[in-house]
Amino acid sequence: MRKFFIFLYCFFYFHNSIIANVIIKGNGSFGIILIDGFRKSNPSKDLFYSELVKRYESIILETNNKSLVCFSQINDKAFDSYISYNENNVVISRNFPTPDRKEKAFFYSKPIITSLNEETEKCLTDFLDTLHSMKFKKKIIINLDTDFDGIEISDFDYESQNLVRALNPEKNIKVKPVIKGSGSIEAFFSTTKDTLIISIGVKDFNIESFEQIFSRIDILIKINFSDDIFKRNENCKSEEDFYSELLKNSLPENIGIEDDLFNDFKIRYSQIITNEELLLLVNKTHHLNNDYIPDDLINVDSLFSVIRPETMLRKIVLDDLLIMFNDTKKQNIQLKIISSYRSFESQKIIFNRWVKVLGEKEAKRVSAVPGASQHQLGTAIDFNMLEESLEKTEVGVWLLKNSFKYGFVLSYPKGMESFSGYKYEPWHYRYIGKDAAYIVYSYFNNNLELFLQWFWSLKKQ
């Protein structure tokens, strides 16, 4: 038998293309493609590729007509631009429209907005051209990641189902659906013929964890692509059923949704994925930049009962808030806005004032550091009075039971300080839209922080 071995060579393109050390073994017509999806440098990367070469240099792939290809370095500049910024240079969600976005991918026939810019797209196009030149009949791309543990998949067709079953035969690895689009590699390859892509994440990336990746390469080397992956079998479900199964399994352990309610949950979830700016995760570890200013702020002094002049809110909040004010008025409940939008600088003044009164440690329990305040989003409102006793008033009781119907949820619930990081604030509500608010109130135990952390775990950041 002809002997094949691993060899190294380099592609050198301009800075906005791929610069890759390419490890190739075998000349089979079915390709196993590993790509370096790491978003930042990792000290274990060089060791990983060294171990990969050692492990597979003596493996004969031709018996199964396979080739193993590993792109061990992808240009940082192009893939840094993967991350999406708004006009204020703030990292934000990817799927809401801005002037430089274009529809690029689909989720169950619904177009979603992606953020691939020219530099990133050139990088991926060069990569795709390189793969085409290798003339594989079928190829499976494994995107390596250290941002999560488990498997992420963004297509739900029978080929993807077969791939998940093959790579996770004991069902002992968390598999979650991610929404393709968002400028992701998955979106770019979603229309590439005879190509599957899956992300494998190993958060604790070291020599002990390399086996989690190598064992999956071993599986792909052994199986028959044509019969085991690219062929429908009796175990395959409809795309919608498979997606539903993964979505349900992705929920936090303490969140259970009954089967008869899950379809409602899924429909509402599908409505919120295209309006992510309302769901930005802003907390003690996820901050907004100092120049983040929503571009649709409006003075609402003449529209609502406000305590302070120059009260500002985002325009997207107003319709539902007006209805909520009118409905409470009919019930003789008087809502008042104490505080709404605050700039980064305003929050700095407020936080420093609390530090002088309470000291920094205690101040962080009752006030957000600059950049960590939901008020900077222009969608958070403090109602009526800044006292815990609000919960026992007619206003406090009504807001807790009914605000979700109008798109508002309590940000910092009672008994959740260890999770949210803030003391109970029965006056502080955030607008996230009616579908999202219904999900938080009805399915996530009215825990906004838990919902947002789960929601963004399903997104390609």
The rounded radius of gyration (Å) of the Cα atoms in the chain is 25
Which two three-digit tokens encode residue 25? 């073994």
Res 401: pLDDT: 96
User: Is 67 in contact with 24 (CB distance < 8 Å)?
Assistant: yes
Which two three-digit tokens encode residue 30? 């079915």
> SS3 string of 197-254?
EEEEECCCCCCCCHHHHHHHHHHHHHCCHHHHHCCCCCCCCCHHHHHHHHHHHHCCCC
Ordered DSSP codes for 64-119: GTEEEEEE----HHHHHTTS-B-TTS-B--SSS--TT-EEEEEETTEEEEE---HH
At 313, is the secondary structure helix, strand, or coil?
strand
Q: Residue 7 belongs to what H/E stretch?
A: strand 7-12
Res 120: pLDDT: 58
Which two three-digit tokens encode residue 60? 């004969």
Between CA 439 and CA 154 the distance in angstroms is 22
Q: What is the largest CA-CA distance in the chain?
A: 88
Cα dihedral 397, 398, 401, 404 in deg (nearest 10)? -130
Q: By C-alpha distance, which of 152, 147, 130, 148 is closest to 139?
A: 130
Between CA 382 and CA 359 the distance in angstroms is 23
Between CA 275 and CA 273 the distance in angstroms is 6
Q: Residue 460 belongs to what H/E stretch?
A: none
pLDDT tens digit sequence for 288-333: 888 889 989 999 999 999 888 889 999 999 999 999 999 999 999 9
Q: By C-alpha distance, which of 353, 379, 383, 388 is closest to 368?
A: 353
At 125, is the secondary structure helix, strand, or coil?
helix
| pLDDT under 70: residue ranges of the chain | 1-24, 37-42, 60, 62-63, 72-124, 179-192, 274, 460-461
Judging by beta carbons within 10 Å of its beta carbon (0-12, 13-18, 19+), is residue 214 exposed, middle or buried?
Answer: middle
| Sign of the torsion angle spanned by Cα atoms 274, 277, 278, 283 | positive
User: Is 297 in contact with 312 (CB distance < 8 Å)?
Assistant: yes
DSSP letter for 148, please.
S
Between CA 454 and CA 450 the distance in angstroms is 6
Question: Which domains does the chain show, CATH number per domain?
Answer: 7-250 (3.40.630), 276-457 (3.30.1380.10)
Between CA 56 and CA 33 the distance in angstroms is 14
Please work out, in degrees rounded to the nearest 5, the angle formed at the alpha carbon of residue 234 by the alpha carbons of 230 and 239: 65
Between CA 310 and CA 390 the distance in angstroms is 24
